Amino acid sequence: MATIELINISKTFGSGLGQVTALKNVNFKADKGQLILILGPSGSGKSTFLTILGSLQTPSSGQVKLNGLDLAQLSSRQQEKIRLEKIGFVLQAYNLVPYLKVKDQFNFVSRIKKSNNLSSAKLNALLAKLEIADLVDKYPANLSGGQNQRVAIARALYTNPEIILADEPTAALDSHRVEEVGLMLHDLAQKENKAVIVVTHDLRLRKHADSIYQITDGILTKEA
């Protein structure tokens, strides 16, 4: 059984002459222990793919299954609980709370998700690995784009999710840090037994992937 699966997913926006099809009959499976890249240019449907995969929006047709469970059969509250407990999101917008220092971003998460988060020792090791341990008393507005990106990655991993969904996680990073993040995501998949799905146009991540898909005009195909 796949950890997460899309079955015949399509997504359209608008109607009539203004209708746009973002995804066309997409089928996809991901298992724990895999780092999967979804490559495609801007406007190809990558972000729509990721938000449907993470139950942040609903498809126009098709099924989204998590551990065999059809998410459409769940209430909004049940879906929210699954997102909180099972899925870690790394989004382009960072989604950090602007009035909280870096260290308080994690305390805030702990108040919402009270168990199964990383221990203090593991969190400190993660911050050190991402080279942001010395930024814990700073606010997001005082950080660079790359620093905010690394804080967002750490916050997503803090909840110890079984599925990690990342939208352009290396867009604001230099080549050295892309290599570090690529290795870390690969290790999370294989050593921590997590399903890691990354949508990106950053070809520097290719060498770390177990599987690679291309998405163009909403059509998803797997590379041989």
pLDDT tens figures, 157-215: 999 999 999 998 888 788 988 998 899 899 889 988 999 999 998 999 999 999 999 99
- Residue 170 pLDDT: 87
Predicted local distance difference test score (pLDDT) of residue 193: 92
pLDDT digits (tens, 9 = 90+) for 87-113: 999 887 778 999 999 999 999 999 999
Q: What angle do CA 97, 103, 107 make, to 5 degrees?
A: 75
The model's confidence at residue 62, banded by pLDDT at 50, 70 and 90, is very high
Domain residues for the domain of 169 are 4-222
The mean pLDDT of 13-38, rounded to a whole number, is: 92
Which pLDDT belongs to residue 1? Answer: 75
Q: Which amino acid type is present at position 34?
A: Q
> What Rg value do the Cα atoms of the chain yield, rounded?
17
**What's the pTM?**
0.90
Answer yes or no: is pLDDT of 55 > 80: yes
> Beta partners for 63?
7
pLDDT value at residue 3 = 92
List, in order, residues 6 or more apart from 107 with CB less than 8 Å away: none
3-state secondary structure the chain: CCCEEEEEEEEEECCHHHCEEEEEEEEEEECCCEEEEEECCCCCCHHHHHHHHCCCCCCCEEEEEECCEEHHHCCHHHHHHHHHHHEEEECCCCCCCCCCCHHHHHHHHHHHCCCCCCCHHHHHHHHHHCCCHHHCCCCHHHCCHHHHHHHHHHHHHHCCCCEEEEECCCCCCCHHHHHHHHHHHHHHHHHCCCEEEEEECCHHHHHHCCEEEEEECCEEEECC
Pairing between strand 219-222 and 211-216? antiparallel
Contact 156, 109 (CB under 8 A): no
Q: Which residues contact 147 (CB under 8 A, 6 or more apart)?
A: 132, 135
Pairing mode of beta strands 87-90, 4-13: unpaired
pLDDT recorded at residue 51:
93
Look over the chain and give the mean of its residue pLDDT values, rounded to a whole number: 92
pLDDT at 145: 86
pLDDT at 16: 81
Q: What is the percentage of the chain residues whose pLDDT exceeds 90?
A: 68
CATH of the domain at 38: 3.40.50.300
Residue 74, φ and ψ in degrees, nearest 5: -100, 155
At 208 the pLDDT is: 94
Q: Tell me how crowded residue 192 is: count the other CB atoms within 10 A of its CB.
A: 14
Model pLDDT, residue 43? 83
- How many folded domains does the chain comprise? 1
